[in-house]
Chains A and B, each alone.
Chain A
Amino acid sequence: MQQLLQELSHKMTPHAPPVAPTVSVPLTGVGTGMIVSNVTKTYGAGEFTKQVVQNCSFTIESGKLTVMIGPSGCGKSTLIRLLAGFERPTSGTITIGGKPVSGPGLDRMVVFQETALFPWMSTYDNIMFGPRARGEDTPEMRSFAELLLQKVGLDGFRKKYPAQLSGGMQRRAELARSMINKPEVMILDEPFRGLDAMTKRLMQEYYANLYEEFRRTTFFVTTDIDEAIYLADRILIMTNIPTQVRAVIDVDLPRPRHVEDITENDAANAIKMKALGLLHEEAMKSFARGSKAAADFIDAYARRMAKE
């Protein structure tokens, strides 16, 4: 990937005038995605062993948006750390583009729940951080940064510092800052958590737009079923801890998608009912094991079923 980028930037003439932001940047469908096979992760030893991930297998298909949804505390964050390479699986393998993952790498970008924008840099400088860190402050990268600024609606805020941006703007800036590095796989860990309902919806629209424009291979973790259906090409429904894939649901709704269409679409509602049913079963299991978090979900599910 790194080599490919360097070759690309060599091919482009260094003294070319700044390219208009509408110029398309070759991004789509690089690599062969990620394959997780028979991954198990346990913490501790002896009597205190806790198995978090058990014999888990799935693929993050190239050029597709894979959403993972599961009961809270099921081990999603552990899976993200494994995919990112911050931790190694106890057994099983994770490969990216056919090569095994052995640590953090530039081929994967992780966007976490909390923003980690650098407070001392403007929006533009934050977005250009990655390219500059690798000595790629080229006209191409600059025009790509322009394009991303427009796509996330921060064109007028390029000189503002993160503290001067709203919560939603900060998340968008962070998405752009990851996107510019053109990773083979983008990994997003509940990126819109903690935003109010209106902002969250706006963010989902921005994000869907961004994805539909570039079609980067993406792994998106959420606990919000509506978000999952609106964004996903494929949904992985996870079991209770120790987690593995319970079911894979293909979401073949046409793109570009609009939030209003999704709420009225019959196919989308069918997917939602199926997913909720599976999640309910998993919630019952974790409730039986004493999880308090699952109780709220079960209550909500029961009320919903009573209404229909």
Chain B
Amino acid sequence: MVAAAKALSTKFAGFVGGDDFWRGIVAIAAFLIFWEAGSRSHAWFGFSFPWVSQVPAPTAVLQAMFKLVQEPSFWNSAFLSTLRVFEGFFAAMVIGIPLGLAMAVSRIFFGITFPVFEVLRPIPPLAWVPASIIFWPTQELSIAFVTFLGAFFTIVINVIGGARAIDVRYFQAARSMGSSTWDIFRRIILPGTLPSIVVGATVGVGITWAVVVAAEMISGGGSAGSVGGAAGGGLGFFIWNSYVGGSYTQIVAGMISIGIAGYVSSALLRKIGNWMTPWLSEN
């Protein structure tokens, strides 16, 4: 553990001084300068850059964000979106993993379920929004359901692919050493599919964030919107509301918050995934 932390810190120290680090710094700085100059082009150069001049400057966005993080309603929005992402993602894992495994293991079950699955899979989750508002009793459930769909298909496809890709020799070896069918499932199929489950979950959670924001925009932020005031219906609703209210700096601030949230959840899942599949990382 100490050795690992040490290795990580030397790796980090190596990165901080290295060429890649400075390239990264220069790239981000150049991007911000271009953005700042672009959005202030009318005041600075006397003419407007196309497109960029319509976007609030990074300094203004930073100011807006600084104000936002002090407002409870913003955190309430972030919390609501996170909760919906978690609900949908959790349900997708709980239903998707066993379903994918069953489809990979049983030829009969696969034959029955796969055609239906393949017809439903290409339907974009957002196309489900109106139907799910009608079907589900509360707005909250409708949003969670659409979020669930975003991660569900990706997870199932990854589980099926992962379980099918397990080397036949592992099954032969296990059988010849006296493994029962249950033993093979538990000690070969499950760990053999785990890396694909991690990949499916990491990709799936990213899609979940994309879907939850759009679902919040379309559905008007869910039932919670009326409780928490104008900005109470999740980050998607917050962005939409900022647009309607003409607060452009808040739109960009909201976008950045979603970017950060998505990054954090993917990083978190990758971390958990690495911890669960130590045989892949320790080399």
Binding site for B on A (CB under 8 A): 84, 104, 106, 109-110, 112, 114, 116, 118-121, 129-130, 133-134, 161-164, 177, 181
Using Cβ atoms and an 8 Å threshold, which residues of chain B touch A104?
A: 175-176
Q: Give 8 A-B contacts (CB < 8 Å), ordered by A residue.
A: A106-B178, A118-B188, A120-B192, A120-B277, A129-B174, A161-B279, A163-B279, A163-B283
Among B72-80, B179-187, B252-260, the one that faces the other chain is: B179-187
> Within 8 Å CB of B246, what residues of A?
none
Question: How many A-B contacts if CB must be within 8 Å?
Answer: 56
Contacts of B280 in A (CB 8 A): 163
The answer to whether B167 and A130 touch across the interface, beta carbons within 8 angstroms, is no
> Which chain A residues lie closer than 8 Å to B167 at the CB level?
116
**Separation of A245 and B167 alpha carbons in the complex (Å):** 34
**CA A163 – CA B283 in complex, angstroms?**
7
A51 CB to closest chain B CB, in angstroms? 26
Enumerate chain A residues within 8 angstroms of B278, measured Cβ to Cβ.
161
Digit string of B134-149 for contact with A (CB within 8 Å is 1, else 0)?
A: 0000000000000000
Q: Is A116 in contact with B173, judged by CB distance below 8 angstroms?
A: yes
Identify the closest chain A residue to B184 (Cβ): A133
Chain A interface SS verdict (over half) = loop
Are A133 and B188 in contact (CB-based, < 8 A)? no
Residue of A with least CB distance to B175? A104
Among A109, A118, A120, A121, the residue within 8 A (CB) of B176 is A109
Nearest Cβ on chain B to A107's Cβ, whole angstroms? 11
Known: A84-B176, A116-B170. 17 other contacts (CB 8 A): A104-B175, A104-B176, A106-B178, A114-B169, A116-B167, A116-B172, A118-B173, A118-B188, A120-B194, A120-B277, A120-B279, A133-B177, A133-B179, A133-B187, A161-B279, A163-B279, A181-B177
The answer to whether B173 and A164 touch across the interface, beta carbons within 8 angstroms, is: no
Give the chain A neighbours of B192 by CB distance below 8 A: 120
User: With A120-B192, A120-B194 known to touch, is A130 a contact of B279 (CB < 8 Å)?
Assistant: no
Q: Is B228 an interface residue (CB 8 A)?
A: no
Whole-angstrom distance between the Cβ of A189 and the nearest chain B Cβ: 12
- The answer, yes or no, to whether B58 is at the interface (CB within 8 Å) is no
Residues of B within 8 A of A134 (CB): 177-178
**How distant is the Cα of A118 from the Cα of B177 in the complex, in angstroms?**
13
B191 at the interface (CB under 8 A from A): yes
Whole-angstrom distance from the CB of B20 to the nearest CB of chain A?
27
| B19 touches A (CB below 8 Å) | no
| Across-interface contacts of A116 in B (CB, < 8 A) | 167, 169-170, 172-173
Instruction: Answer yes or no: B71 CB below 8 A from chain A CBs.
Output: no
Contact of A164 among B170, B183, B187, B283 (CB under 8 A): B283
Across the two chains, which residue of chain B brings its CB closest to A2? B178
Q: Which residues of B contact A161 (CB under 8 A)?
A: 278-279, 282
